Amino acid sequence: MKIIRNKITLQELNEMAYNSFGNLVKAVVDVKKEIIAVDAELHSDEEALLLENGSKQRDLWGINFYIELEGDDFIEYDSMINLRPSQNNRSRGVDNPEIREKIKAIVDKLVEK
């Protein structure tokens, strides 16, 4: 597992995918600190890493990178850690379009495609 604070290449993500799920990399985005944890079997492991490094639970959102896809299909907003009725997020997705856009902007900034 690692925390991305500076750009990571698509090739690096591709290597992570190859060593785990084949076509995807799980990630957790801190929308406040604008960092991403990657390269774990479970979103909850990445979530724990970010929490240990000072992130707040309410700022963390689980996503998946589909390495072989482009555009809007590159990011899948789906994780059990996203189930948060207290934040009006009642699904595994990211229901708030503003938060989805923030996640996309962070990914665009940190993932060199």
Q: Residue 21: its pLDDT value, please?
A: 86
Please write the tens of the pLDDT for every residue from 11-65: 999 999 999 988 999 999 999 999 999 999 999 999 999 999 999 999 999 999 9
- Tokens 């495609």, residue located: 113
The DSSP symbol for 86 reads G
Report the alpha-carbon distance of residue 91 to residue 85 in Å, rounded: 8
| Phi, psi angles (nearest 5°) of residue 29 | -105, 130
Rounded mean pLDDT, 64-91: 96
| Phi, psi angles (nearest 5°) of residue 56 | -105, 140
The DSSP symbol for 88 reads T
